[in-house]
């Protein structure tokens, strides 16, 4: 049996490694806050939410398949929680089986019977849930899942399994045949089924000549020899039943893992909806279309830390390969950059997006290059560290990827920083990489603006006449100031236009 709730025709790959830049994405886009809320203290949900969010899909139809499954999950939360807990119970079933280590065929068989007994109970409950809930699900993924459960876990299946388990307990002992091989050694052991016979047949058997022997109870060597014969006879059925146990365990493990991601989505949606934040099902488009359009896009991680809804922004950047964001300090530039990165990852994982509406082309990967605060672990200067990080990005990035830059190379002087950024941006655009750049470097922004490239757009963080920040980002030409004096005045309570008088 296969769950196929994450992919239409394959299992979720639990062994697939995370991308090399996973830690950078989590730190720069503040994904830790999202993952914490998604997990709600459940380690498996945390693990799967992280894996799926950072290993997005690159096919719009595959994303649509997962979006439909998620919609069913959101509409049937109690059933999904019940299915998830049931799968977890199944995964943990073996921990409730006590006994000696499986060192012989007999011990393997004994343990496999005990575990399969527990699995049969789990599968019966799964069938019961499917019978009751299937009508409330409309996605292709769940329709197929419930049909599979109904077809493969029918009454005949349970009747057959329970009959086999009863027989494998050998209540009347083990019947084994063998033949003599070379050197009169026994070979070709076969476990025989005891046929049901009528009373007259049993009485007639007693008149037949037969050879038999009994092993005294205190004959340890004899008992050991009989044990070896029994193990030879049951070896094949023990292995077969152990493989059946492995198949059921694998199914329940994957079912729990796949449902864990959807449980995380349910948890996150509940928290954001409680705050009145908008959420939408995004529209993914093929990578060649260079789509990027949003209404009311906001930073979901920031929202989770505030006791009020956050300000959303609109984007109209279809066909744009370079998006340059400038404007007032603390005006929301970095927040919008994080929102774009979060939305791209959430969309490609099959999730909802923190916006009223969001449309974007799928990317081959998301990369971030943010300025870092200097710390004791740095072995060289900040500029060297930034250049090395960019070198690592260049090594992995390719056409169709998205690069988010936040004040890149700000650790050097403005002239050198502008030149380095120009070189990097030119190379990225030539390579087919889309770049969103937040910068306070006026010379850089203005020189790019003067080029009037049709695939470049410029956004600017607004500043009110009174110096307040409305956190709105709109299209606009870069300004020669970032209004740093506003920050000075808010801290020191006096104008920065002239120095304070000597005291």
> In CATH, which superfamily holds the domain spanning 283-492?
P-loop containing nucleotide triphosphate hydrolases (3.40.50.300)
Task: Specify the pLDDT at position 244.
Answer: 87
Burial of 141 (0-12, 13-18, 19+ CB in 10 A): buried
Q: For residues 418 and 421, what is the distance between their CA atoms, to the nearest angstrom? A: 5
Burial of 90-106, coded b for 16+ CB within 10 Å and e otherwise, reads bbebeeeeeeeeeebbb
* 3-class secondary structure, 129: helix
Report yes or no: 141 and 69 within 8 Å, Cβ to Cβ: yes
- Whole-model pTM? 0.85
Share above pLDDT 70 across residues of the chain, in percent, rounded to a whole number: 82
Structure-block tokens of residue 306: 């505030």
Euclidean distance between CA atoms 112 and 240, whole angstroms: 10
Q: Is 216 left (phi over 0), alpha (psi -120 to 50) or beta?
A: beta
CA–CA gap between residue 225 and residue 13 (Å, rounded): 46
String of DSSP letters for 197-239: --HHHHHHHHTS--------TT-HHHHHHHHHHHHHHHHHHHH
466's tokens: 């009174």
Is the confidence at residue 106, as pLDDT, over 80? no
The b-or-e profile of 295-334 (16+ CB within 10 A means b, else e) is: bbbbbbbbbbeeeeebbbbbbebeebbbbbbbbbbbbbbb
- More reliable by pLDDT, 479 or 65: 65
The answer to whether the beta carbons of residues 343 and 294 sit under 8 Å apart is yes
Of the CA atoms within 13 Å of residue 373, those in its CB half-sphere come to 3
CA distance 106 to 228: 9
Q: Please state the domain extents for the chain.
A: 57-169+247-270, 283-492
The answer to whether residues 162 and 123 touch, using CB atoms and an 8 Å cutoff, is: no
Summarised one tens digit per residue, pLDDT across range 187-244 is 766 666 666 655 555 555 555 566 666 767 776 776 666 666 666 656 677 777 788 8
Top-confidence range, 37-41, 411-415, 462-466: 37-41
3-state secondary structure (DSSP) of residue 412: coil
* CA angle in degrees (0–180, nearest 5) for 71-74-78: 140
**Contact residues for 95 (Cβ-Cβ < 8 A; gap 6+):** none
- The model's pLDDT over 422-448, given as tens digits with 9 standing for 90+, comes to 999 999 999 999 999 999 999 999 999
283-311: pLDDT as tens digits: 999 988 889 999 999 999 999 999 888 99
Q: pLDDT per residue over 5-35, tens digit each?
A: 999 999 999 999 999 999 999 999 999 999 9
């Amino acid at each position: 049996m296969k769950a196929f709730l994450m992919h239409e025709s394959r299992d979720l790959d639990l062994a697939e490694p995370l991308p090399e830049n996973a830690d950078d994405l989590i730190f720069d886009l503040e994904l830790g806050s999202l993952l914490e809320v998604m997990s709600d203290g459940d380690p498996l949900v945390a693990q799967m939410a992280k894996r799926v969010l950072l290993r997005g899909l690159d096919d719009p139809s595959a994303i649509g398949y997962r979006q439909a499954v998620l919609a069913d999950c959101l509409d049937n939360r109690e059933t999904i929680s019940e299915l998830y807990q049931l799968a977890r119970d199944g995964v943990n079933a073996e921990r409730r089986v006590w006994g000696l280590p499986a060192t012989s065929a007999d011990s393997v068989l004994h343990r496999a019977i005990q575990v399969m007994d527990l699995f049969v109970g789990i599968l019966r409950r799964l069938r019961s849930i499917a019978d009751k809930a299937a009508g409330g699900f409309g996605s292709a993924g769940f329709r197929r899942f419930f049909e599979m459960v109904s077809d493969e876990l029918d009454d005949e299946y349970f009747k057959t399994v329970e009959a086999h388990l009863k027989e494998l307990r050998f209540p009347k002992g083990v019947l084994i045949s063998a033949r003599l091989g070379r050197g009169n050694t026994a070979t070709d052991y076969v476990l025989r089924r005891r046929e049901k016979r009528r009373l007259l047949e049993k009485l007639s058997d007693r008149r037949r000549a037969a050879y038999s022997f009994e092993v005294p109870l205190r004959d340890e060597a004899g008992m050991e020899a009989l044990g070896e014969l029994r193990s030879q006879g049951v070896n094949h059925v023990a292995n077969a039943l152990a493989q059946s146990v492995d198949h059921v365990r694998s199914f329940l493990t994957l079912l729990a893992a796949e449902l864990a991601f959807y449980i995380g989505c349910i948890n996150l949606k509940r928290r954001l909806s409680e705050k009145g934040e908008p959420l939408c099902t995004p529209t993914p488009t093929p990578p060649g279309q260079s789509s990027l359009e949003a209404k009311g896009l906001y930073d979901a991680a920031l929202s989770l830390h505030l006791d009020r809804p956050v300000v959303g922004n609109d984007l109209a950047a279809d066909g744009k390969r370079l998006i340059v964001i400038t404007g007032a300090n603390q005006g929301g530039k970095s927040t919008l950059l994080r929102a774009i990165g979060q939305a791209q990852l959430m969309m490609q994982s099959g999730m909802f997006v923190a916006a009223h509406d969001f449309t974007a082309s799928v990317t081959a990967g998301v990369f971030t290059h943010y300025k870092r605060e200097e710390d004791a672990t740095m072995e060289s200067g900040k500029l060297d560290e930034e250049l090395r990080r960019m070198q690592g990005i260049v090594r992995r990035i390719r056409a169709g990827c998205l690069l988010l830059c936040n004040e890149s190379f700000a650790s050097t002087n403005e002239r050198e920083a502008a030149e380095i950024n120009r070189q990097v941006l030119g190379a990225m655009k030539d390579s087919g990489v889309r770049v969103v750049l937040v910068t306070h470097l006026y010379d850089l922004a203005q020189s790019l603006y003067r080029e009037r490239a049709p695939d470049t757009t410029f956004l600017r963080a607004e500043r009110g006449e009174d110096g307040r920040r409305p956190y709105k980002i709109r299209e606009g030409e870069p300004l020669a100031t970032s209004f740093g004096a506003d920050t000075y005045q808010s801290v020191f309570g006096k104008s920065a236009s002239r120095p304070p008088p000597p005291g």
